[in-house]
Structure formats: structure tokens, C-alpha cells
């Protein structure tokens, strides 16, 4: 998939655990884990906004587009 999720990178930079992020964002650990591992098929803007607010980052810090090699 050409969209790479760098949530784990931003969490490490902020020294924040998945449990702590889950509590602050108001999402279940399961849903955050799915997003963190890149298995999510979609993400709501409200969820992305909440994550960016807590991690004090931009959406581009979390999501990255890498084209497939043809």
C-alpha cells in the first residue's frame, strides 16, 4: 500500500505509549493499534485531528505517500 502510517515514530518522538495516546485521544487500544500497524482502511479527519492535537504534529508527520514500484 502506498500510504505509510508513521504513528509509532511520532509516539516515540513524544515518548508516549499506545495506552496514553488512547486515553488522551479517546479511542480504543484496538482501533489505535490497527491504525499504528497500517492495517486501517480509512481514518476519520476527527480522529486524525485528535491524534495531531495530542502529539502536537501535522497530518503529514503521521501519514506518508510512497508510490508503488512499477
Domain 3-65 has CATH 2.40.128.260: no
Model confidence pTM above 0.85: yes
Question: Any idea where the domains of the chain sit in the sequence?
Answer: 3-65
CB-based contact 59:2 (threshold 8 Å):
no
First-to-final CA distance of the chain: 13
pLDDT at 69: 81
Q: What is residue 45's three-state secondary structure?
A: helix
Q: Quick: pLDDT tens for 7-62.
A: 999 999 999 999 999 999 999 999 999 999 999 999 999 999 999 999 999 999 99
Amino acid at each position: 500500500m502506498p500510504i505509510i502510517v508513521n504513528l509509532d515514530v511520532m509516539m516515540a518522538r513524544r515518548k508516549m505509549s499506545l495506552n496514553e495516546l488512547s486515553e488522551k485521544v479517546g479511542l480504543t487500544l484496538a482501533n489505535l493499534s490497527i491504525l499504528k500497524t497500517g492495517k486501517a482502511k480509512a481514518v476519520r479527519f476527527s480522529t486524525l485531528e485528535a491524534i495531531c492535537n495530542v502529539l502536537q504534529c501535522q497530518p503529514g508527520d503521521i501519514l506518508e505517500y510512497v508510490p508503488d514500484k512499477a
